[in-house]
Amino acid sequence: MISGYLEGLGMVLQVGTLLAIAGGTLLGIIMGALPGLTSAMAIALLLPVTFGMPPVMGIGMLLGALCGAGASGSIPAILLNIPGTPSSVATTFDGFPMAQKGEAGRALGLAIVASFFGGVASMVILSLLAPPIAEFALRFGAAEYFSLSIFGLVIIASVAGKSLLKGLIAGLIGFFASTIGTDPITGVGRFTFDQLSLLTGINLLPALIGLFAVSQVLKDAFEYDPRQRLEESTHRIDIARPRFLETLRHWKAVVAGILSGSIVGPIPGAGGSIASLVAYDQTRRFSKSPEKFGTGHAPGIVSVESANNALLGGALIPTLALGIPGEAATAVLLGGLMIQGITPGPLLFDDQSGTVYGIFLAYLAANVFMLLIMCLGIKLFIRVLMVPRKQLLAAILVFCFIGVYGVDGDVFNLYLMLGFGVLGYFLNRYDFGTAPVILGLILGPIAEANLRRGLQAFQGDWTPFFTRPISLTFLVIAVGLLALTLWQNYRGNRRSESNASS
């Protein structure tokens, strides 16, 4: 482990790697500060830039974007009462009232430091928990990998869309798309339509950029209204400096945030808004002055922001150790890892331990850069909010083009990107979600290959998939979750029907 850390440290402590992490963090902060643009989009846009980079440098850049976006969602939440990211919703509860009292700088200072503490603590938890989970997963065979893929797909499908069925359909669309190309066992071409670019299957990058960046641009284009202008913040921000001592005085709120984020984070699909709301609720519940929450109370901001960044480290645990992402942004990150030639999962910890520990340390560095950049550039990021939308949309689309075309110079991939963008737009608009599609694309080949490999090994016998303990456990949990979600959906429908009739 120590040799792994030393090897990883050598990879991170290079000028190029540190610059890449800082650059990724900066872009993440800008994207997170812009309402409507997500960390998943930031990572998708950065993916092509990372191609020529060594793995730790490239992944460090993506982690920087993830970390920066996780923290900067608080800027519009505090100044404009508009959450920059879904996980910043709870930041508005106390952040905006504090800003209204003329203490916007204090609120931002608390949010920055709490995000930093949350991020650093989650890195420690990640580095402690991921290796033993990966070690346990070394026992997995074909049956277990098949069941794990189904488990991952069911979990994200049950939480990503607004209804279970729609989430499952989205996952199955991705799964179907993953079957396009040459069948790896028989060599039969499936749905290639004599298109050379499809012989090796759907390229992950155009799918990722289409689903997470182009679809968002199309949504913004639909909603674009030049008559609606953001009012420039009138709040005082000249005192926006990090509030270490004040944040530490609210250590209980920090701990509540770290615990909530770390527990919710590894649950695939649970998402940042749940972690931050849980942290806020727990801090208020155990507070001596719960009545102050919602009026610009510092522990409210501290708990939410520490939970937001603690969540990211937690979400990386199943992503790295099992290859199952925690939510949309880590699903894109998983795609990024695979494009980099890194196959997340237990073998990664065995074969490339230096890279794994390098990734842990890169995440720590990303948190340090997030703290520095947010403190130094807070006024600049507030100006980012004023960037005209139409110019921004054009620039993002150009980035998407270069990203997809630059990889192999194949124009077909640009059409693929646009196709996935249009598909993603409608999937989001009609409550299916896009995260399950990517997971289907990633997990589909794993599920199919392991099922077929397992069946060959078991001489066509299906029973080992249901009798091997770990495989059975995954399948039972998946079925249990399906049943639970269906029951919750049924209850929700009944409740809304009875509300409508009364």
Partner 1 sequence: MERDIGKPIFDLLLLIASAAAFAAAMALPDIEIVGDLSPAFFPKLISAMIFLFAIPCLVKDVREWRAAVPAGGSRPANRRGVMQWLWIVGLTVVYILLFEPLGYIPSTAVFAFCCVIGLLIASGVWGELSASQRVKSLGGAAIFAIVLAVAIYYVFTDLFEIPLPD
Enumerate binding residues for partner 1 (CB under 8 A): 48-49, 51-52, 163, 165-166, 168-169, 172-173, 175-176, 179, 183, 185-186, 188, 190-191, 214, 217-218, 221-227, 390-391, 393-395, 397-399, 401-402, 405-406, 409, 411, 414-415, 418, 422, 426, 429-431, 444, 448, 451-452, 455-460, 500
Cβ count near 15 (within 10 Å): 7
Residue 261 or 436 with smaller CB distance to partner 1: 436
* Least distance from partner 1 to the Cβ atom of residue 416, Å: 10
* Least distance from partner 1 to the Cβ atom of residue 22, Å: 15
Residue 13 or 165 with smaller CB distance to partner 1: 165
* Residue 372 to residue 369: CA distance in whole angstroms: 5
Residue 113 or 404 with smaller CB distance to partner 1: 404
Backbone angles phi, psi at 313, to 5 degrees: -65, -40
* Least distance from partner 1 to the Cβ atom of residue 170, Å: 10
The two tokens of residue 23 are 């650059």
* Least distance from partner 1 to the Cβ atom of residue 92, Å: 25
* Residue 40 to residue 43: CA distance in whole angstroms: 5
Q: Which residues contact 394 (CB under 8 A, 6 or more apart)?
A: none
398 burial via Cβ count (<10 Å: 0-12, 13-18, 19+): exposed
Backbone angles phi, psi at 116, to 5 degrees: -60, -50
Count Cβ neighbours within 10 Å for each residue of 213-233 and write b for 16 or more, e otherwise: bbbbbbbbeeeeeeeeeeeeb
Cβ count near 185 (within 10 Å): 11
Residue 467 or 493 with smaller CB distance to partner 1: 493
What amino acid is encoded at 420 in this protein? F
* Least distance from partner 1 to the Cβ atom of residue 391, Å: 6
* Least distance from partner 1 to the Cβ atom of residue 401, Å: 7
CB 21 within 8 A of CB 68: no
* Least distance from partner 1 to the Cβ atom of residue 189, Å: 9
Backbone angles phi, psi at 189, to 5 degrees: -80, 130
Residue 179 or 233 with smaller CB distance to partner 1: 179
* Residue 110 to residue 93: CA distance in whole angstroms: 14
Residue 386 or 402 with smaller CB distance to partner 1: 402
What amino acid is encoded at 481 in this protein? L
Residue 125 or 155 with smaller CB distance to partner 1: 155
Residue 105 or 152 with smaller CB distance to partner 1: 152
* Least distance from partner 1 to the Cβ atom of residue 394, Å: 4
What amino acid is encoded at 381 in this protein? F
